């Protein structure tokens, strides 16, 4: 039996797509940055650092403000965002041993059978892509 959270996420995504079936599908851009705080971009009130492109995207789109980092380091947090699961459920937990960080993604990474946000979007006819730091392992089929 699958955990409840991924099933609920899938159901909500499919419901949302079903209600928009006749309307033009929206473009979806997910920005995930290491060490970016809530108030670090202009759309959330920062007037010190100029972020005009991010602000423009936020002005014309949906802003999700309730995501909580699932871990204090990048790999497990990224896995949690993409899968909707706690990192330990997909083998992407991090740990310290002798004060050396072990990168669990180097051992193979996110299991190939793991359902991700991108795979759900692909099933709905979206083209997906990823730019930047991956750190989720070596199970990639494209070059």
pLDDT for the residue 3:
64
pLDDT for the residue 23:
66
Can you list the residues of the chain whose pLDDT is less than 70?
A: 1-23, 94-108, 138-143
Q: Collapse the DSSP code of 72 into the 3-class scheme (helix H, G, I; strand E, B; otherwise coil) and give the result.
A: coil
pLDDT for the residue 12:
57
pLDDT for the residue 52:
95
Taking the CB of residue 55, how many other CB atoms lie within 10 A of it? 15
> What pairs with residue 15 in β-bridges?
none
Distance CA 8, CA 59 (A): 28
Q: Return the ∠ at Cα 80 (arms to 71 and 111), rounded to 5°.
A: 120
pLDDT for the residue 98:
47
pLDDT for the residue 101:
46
pLDDT for the residue 126:
94
Q: Is 112 exposed, middle or buried (0-12, 13-18, 19+ CB in 10 A)?
A: exposed
Catalytic residue among 20, 43, 67, 74: 74
Residue 67 is among the residues annotated as catalytic for this protein: no
Domain ranges for the chain, please list them: 1-30+68-143, 38-67
pLDDT for the residue 125:
93
Residue 74 is among the residues annotated as catalytic for this protein: yes
Distance CA 94, CA 87 (A): 8
pLDDT for the residue 100:
44
Residue 96: in which H helix or E strand, if any?
A: strand 95-97
pLDDT for the residue 11:
60
Catalytic residue among 8, 20, 67, 135: 135
Taking the CB of residue 73, how many other CB atoms lie within 10 A of it? 17
3-state helix, strand, coil in the chain (%, to 5): 35, 5, 60
């Amino acid at each position: 039996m699958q955990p409840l959270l991924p099933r609920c996420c899938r159901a909500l995504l499919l419901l949302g797509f079903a209600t928009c079936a006749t309307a033009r599908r929206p473009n979806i851009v997910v920005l995930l940055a290491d060490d970016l705080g809530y108030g670090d971009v202009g759309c959330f009130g920062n007037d010190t650092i100029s972020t005009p492109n991010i602000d423009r995207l936020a002005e014309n789109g949906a802003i999700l403000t309730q995501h909580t980092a699932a871990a204090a380091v990048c790999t497990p947090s990224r896995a949690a965002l993409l899968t909707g699961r706690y990192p330990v459920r997909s083998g992407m937990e991090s740990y310290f041993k002798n004060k050396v960080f072990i990168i669990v993604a180097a051992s193979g990474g996110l299991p190939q059978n793991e359902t991700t946000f991108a795979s759900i979007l692909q099933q709905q006819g979206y083209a997906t892509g990823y730019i930047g730091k991956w750190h989720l392992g070596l199970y990639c089929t494209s070059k």
